[in-house]
Amino acid sequence: MERKTDIRKLSRDQLIAEMEAMGEKPFRGKQVYEWLWDKRARSFDEMTSLSLAFRQKLDERFVIHSLTIADKQMSSDGTIKYAFKLHTGQVVEGVLIPTKNRTTACISSQVGCSLACKFCATGKLKLMKNLEAYEIYDQVAEIYRDAEMLRDKPLSNIVYMGMGEPLLNYKNMLESTFRIADDIGLGMSPKRITVSTAGIAKLIRKLGDDEVRFNLALSLHAANDEKRNEIMAINESNTLTELAAALVYFHEKTGSRVTYEYIVFKDFNDTLEDARELAEFCRHVPCKVNIIEYNPIDDGEFSQADPEKVDAFAAYLESKNIVVNVRRSRGKDIDAACGQLANKNEAALK
Residue 338 known to be catalytic: yes
Residue 324 backbone phi and psi in degrees, to 5:
-130, 135
Closest-CA residue to 259 (of 211, 302, 207, 322) = 322
Exactly one of 175, 293, 338, 346 is catalytic; name it.
338
CB atoms under 10 Å from CB of 203, counted, come to: 18
Residue 334: what residue type? I
Residue 342 in contact with residue 297, Cβ under 8 Å?
yes
Residue 82 backbone phi and psi in degrees, to 5:
-115, 140
**CB-count exposure of residue 154 (10 Å: 0-12, 13-18, 19+):** exposed
Which 8-state DSSP code applies to residue 169?
G
Q: How far is CA 201 from CA 197, 213, 249, in A?
A: 10, 18, 10
Q: How far is CA 51 from CA 43, 59, 62, 101, 282, in A?
A: 14, 12, 16, 45, 59
Exactly one of 18, 93, 165, 261 is catalytic; name it.
93
Residue 120 known to be catalytic: no
The size of the chain, in residues, is 350
What's the gap between Cα 163 and its chain centre?
A: 8
Residue 105 backbone phi and psi in degrees, to 5:
-100, 125
Which residues have C-beta within 8 Å of that of residue 124, sequence separation ≥ 6?
A: 116, 297, 299, 342
Helix/strand/coil for 199:
coil
The CA distance from 259 to 349, in Å, is: 34
Give the residue numbers marked as catalytic. Answer: 93, 338
